Each structure stands twice: as C-alpha cells, then as structure tokens.
Amino acid sequence: MDPQLSSVTQQVKHLGKRLTVQRRAVLMHMLSTLDAPTAKEVYIALKQEMPNITLSTVYTALRFFVKMGVLEEYPAGHAATRFRCIIPRLAPVLKDVM
C-alpha cells in the first residue's frame, strides 16, 4: 500500500470514520495529480470508473480531507473552489540516461 494512503487510512480510523470506496477514490485521484482541480473536475475524472458517484459525494469527500489536513481548499471568488493535496508525495525516481 502507498505510504500516503496508509497514513491517511490510519488517521481516518483514528477519527472513528471509514475510508469508503468513494473517499478512497477521491483521495487516490488527489494523490495522483499535481494540479489543483475543482470538485467537478474530480467528479468527471472518477465518473467513468464509478458511474454511481455523485458530485455531492465528491465535494463531501474533498471537504472531509480538507478538515483532516490532507488537502487545501482555494476559494477563487466567483470561480469554482480548487483543492490541492498537501501531504508529501514520494519523489519521482529519474532513470539513469547514461
């Protein structure tokens, strides 16, 4: 299991909550992107894999992770709020080109 996912899973359990399939999918998406997507962009990205997921569920999961300190929320005035993962990611390993 990915160290970041394992750490968040432990934190969620410590809070007495569950890392539901939907929360896990949102978290995995946020861990895999360097962008700061909106809730709708996350929803669109996950909808193909999870046809029953709703925008409300995605937004609720994003807010849950903001409260946990895993994500930061960036209100954009009249534009949609963006979310960014703030937990450290593993540094990419560069292949030796020599």
User: Both tokens of residue 14?
Assistant: 């410590």
CA distances from 90 to 30, 31, 55, 93, 97 (A): 14, 10, 29, 9, 21
DSSP 8-class letter at 62 = H
**Model confidence, pTM:** 0.82
Domain range summary for the chain, segments of one domain joined by + = 3-85
CB neighbour list of residue 2: distance below 8 Å, 6 or more residues apart: 31
Question: Which CATH number does 3-85 carry?
Answer: 1.10.10.10
Other C-beta atoms closer than 10 Å to the C-beta of 20 total: 13
Q: What is the pLDDT of residues 4-57, one digit of tens each?
A: 677 787 888 878 888 899 999 999 999 888 889 999 999 999 999 999 999 999
